[in-house]
Structure 1
Amino acid sequence: MAPKDVSKPKEAHVRKPDWLKIKLNTNSSYTGLKKMMREKKLHTVCEEARCPNIHECWAVRKTATFMILGDICTRGCRFCAVKTGLPTELDLQEPERVAESVEQMGLKHVVITAVARDDLKDGGASVFAETVRAVRRKNPFCTIEVLPSDMRGDEESLRILMDARPNIMNHNIETVRRLTPKVRARAKYERTLEFLRRAKEMHEDIPTKSSLMIGLGETKEEIIETMDDLRAHDVDIVTIGQYLQPTKKHLKVIKYYHPDEFAELKEIALSKGFSHCEAGPLVRSSYHADEQVNQAQVNMEAKKAADLS
Structure 2
Amino acid sequence: MSSNAELKSEIMAMPSWLRRPIAKASELSTVQQIIKQLQIHTICEEGRCPNRGECYAQKTATFLLMGPICTRSCAFCQVDKGHAPMAIDEDEPQKVAEAVKLLGLRYVVLTSVARDDLPDQGAGHFVKTITRIRELNPGVQIEVLTPDLYGDISRIKMIVKTKPACFNHNIETVRRLTNPVRRGAKYDRSLFVLQTVKNIDSTIPTKSGLMLGHGETQDEVIQTMEDLRRVGCDRITLGQYMRPSLEHLPVQKYWTPAEFDEFGAIARKIGFSHVRSAPLVRSSYHAGE
Normalising by the residue count of structure 2, what TM-score does the alignment of the two structures yield?
A: 0.94
Name the CA distance, whole Å, in 2 between partners of 1:136 and 1:158.
20
Counterpart of 2:250 in structure 1 is 252
Answer whether contact 1:14 1:255 (CA < 8 A) is retained: no
Give the match's secondary structure for 2:175. Answer: coil
Aligned match of 1:302:
none
1:181 and 1:27 map into 2 onto residues whose CA distance is 39
Structure-2 change in CA distance of 1:13 and 1:142 (3 Å) = closer
Partners of 1:13 and 1:95 in 2: how far apart? 37
Residues in 2 aligned to 1:246 and 1:93: alpha-carbon distance in whole angstroms: 31
Task: Please list the CA deviations of residues 160-219 of structure 1 after superposition, one character each: whole Å capped at 9, or x if unmatched.
Answer: 111111110000000000000010011000000001000111111100000001111000
Corresponding position of 1:110: 108
Displacement, 1:14? 9.8
User: Separation in 2 of the partners of 1:263 and 1:140?
Assistant: 37
Shift of 1:22: 1.1
Matched, 1:289 2:287: yes
Please say if 1:237 is aligned against 2:235: yes
Question: Partner of 2:77 in structure 1?
Answer: 80
Q: Which moved more, 1:212-221 or 1:86-95?
A: 86-95
- Whole-angstrom CA distance in 2 between matches of 1:226 and 1:134: 36
CA shift at 1:134, angstroms? 1.0
Match of 1:218 among 211, 216, 219: 216
Secondary structure at the aligned position of 2:288 is classed as helix
Q: Does the Cα contact within 8 Å between 2:59 and 2:106 map onto a contact in 1?
A: no
Q: Which stretches of structure 1, 4 residues or more, deviate above 4 A after TM superposition?
A: none
Task: List per-residue Cα deviations over 1:101-142 (Å, max 9, x = no partner).
Answer: 111111110000000000001000000011111111112211
Partner SS, residue 211 of structure 2: strand
2:112–2:147 CA contact under 8 A, matched in 1: yes
Quick check: 1:144–1:168 contact (8 Å CA) kept in 2? yes
Quote how far apart the aligned CAs of 1:69 are. Answer: 0.6
How well do the aligned residues superpose, as a CA RMSD in angstroms? 1.4
Percent identity, please: 48
Structure 2 residue ranges without an equivalent (≥5): 1-9
SS at structure 2 position matched to 1:29: helix
2:59 match? 62
TM norm structure 1: 0.88
Confirm or deny: 8 A CA contact 1:245 1:251 kept in the other structure: yes
Question: How many angstroms apart in 2 are the aligned matches of 1:164 and 1:13?
Answer: 42
Unaligned 5+ runs, structure 1: 1-11, 292-309
Q: 1:228 aligns with which of 226, 229, 240?
A: 226
TM-superposition CA deviations, 1:240-266 (whole Å, max 9, x none): 000000111100111111111111110
- Following the alignment from structure 1 to structure 2, what is the Cα–Cα distance between the partners of residues 280 and 139? 32
Q: Aligned equivalents of 1:236 and 1:14: distance in 2?
A: 36
CA offset at residue 15 of structure 1?
Answer: 3.0
Of 272, 275, 279 in structure 1, the residue corresponding to residue 273 of structure 2 is 275
Aligned residues: 279
Tell me if 1:195 matches 2:193: yes
1:261 to 235, 259, 262: 259
Q: Is the 2:74–2:181 contact (alpha carbons within 8 Å) kept by the matching residues of 1?
A: yes
**Counterparts of 2:200 and 2:193 in 1: how far apart (Å)?**
11
Is 1:90 paired with 2:88? Answer: yes
Match of 2:145? Answer: 147
Do residues 120 (structure 1) and 118 (structure 2) align? yes
> What amino acid does structure 1 have at the position aligned with 2:40?
L
**Match of residue 15 from structure 1:** 13
